[in-house]
A = this chain, B = another copy of it.
Amino acid sequence: MRSKGDQVRHLIVETANRLFYEGGYNHTSFTDIVDATDVQRGNIYYYFKTKDDILRAVIDHRLEVITDMLNSWSREEKDPRIRLINFARMLLENANDLARFGCPMGTINAELGKGQRDLQRITRAMFDTFRGWLVSQYRQLGANSRLADELAMETLARAQGITMVAHVYEDVDTIKREIPKFEAWLRRTTETLK
């Protein structure tokens, strides 16, 4: 059972999460958060000392969601090769949002990588989580630790590249066209490992 305060705090985090994704971090103002949550300025500051603190809470929240998702993939599918295919399919399932707003991890890293490195490092943790999971899959397929990390980075790069180009052109079809090629590459790559 969640207390009233926790509910309000959660509402602020979930709303800020969406606003930061759709409108960027710097471009989203406190007023935007007030308007979208119906929680007044002063009250938001009761829960978070600064806007940066809201970002930290948002990233913590995203990390939980990502971790839960990766754990459920690992739980429900035993074959790492199919797990990796699921990773690619995730892009297809979110194709509409990705084309409109870009990758939730990539875009905020790109935004904060300019002049706000302290904040970028916080958001980088999302990449670390995926990277670690990917490394684990490739390791299970027999790759040594160096190769597994290299393949994990290449996998991340493929996903980022497809998403970036689709976002630039706000074009869902780019994702639909590129994901099958991405999957084919994953199959070829994991095949040679076995």
A residues sitting closer than 8 Å to B (CB atoms) are 22-24, 26-27, 101-102, 106-107, 109-111, 113-116, 124, 127, 150, 153-154, 156-162, 164-165, 167-170, 174, 177-178, 181
Give CA–CA (A167, B174) in the complex, Å: 23
Closest beta carbon of chain B to A35's beta carbon, Å: 14
**Contact at B24–A109, with CB atoms within 8 Å?**
no
Provide the residues of chain B in CB contact with A109, threshold 8 Å. 164, 167-168
Q: How distant is the Cα of A122 from the Cα of B15 in the complex, in angstroms?
A: 29
- Decide if the interface of chain A is mainly helix, strand, loop or mixed: helix
Contact A27 B159 (CB under 8 A): no
**Residue from B111, B154, B167 in contact with A24 in the complex, judged by beta carbons closer than 8 Å:** B111
Q: Which of B111, B153, B169, B178 contacts A127 (CB 8 A)?
A: B169
Q: Is the CB of B127 within 8 A of A27?
A: no
User: In the complex, A140→B102 CA distance in Å?
Assistant: 32
Q: Tell me whether B167 and A157 are in contact (CB under 8 A).
A: no
Residue of B whose beta carbon sits closest to that of A166: B157
B114 touches A107 (CB 8 A): yes
Whether A111 pairs with B113 at a CB distance below 8 angstroms is no
For this complex, 19 residue pairs linking A to B, each with C-beta atoms less than 8 Å apart, are A24-B115, A26-B26, A27-B116, A107-B110, A109-B167, A110-B167, A111-B111, A113-B167, A113-B170, A127-B168, A150-B177, A154-B181, A156-B161, A157-B164, A158-B158, A160-B165, A161-B161, A161-B162, A161-B164
**Contact (A165, B157) CB under 8 Å given A113-B107, A150-B177:** yes
| CB of A20, distance to nearest CB on chain B (Å) | 9
Extra inter-chain contacts (18) besides given A27-B114, A109-B168, A113-B168, CB under 8 Å: A22-B114, A24-B26, A26-B26, A102-B113, A107-B110, A110-B110, A110-B164, A113-B170, A127-B168, A150-B177, A153-B177, A153-B178, A154-B178, A154-B181, A156-B165, A157-B158, A157-B165, A158-B158
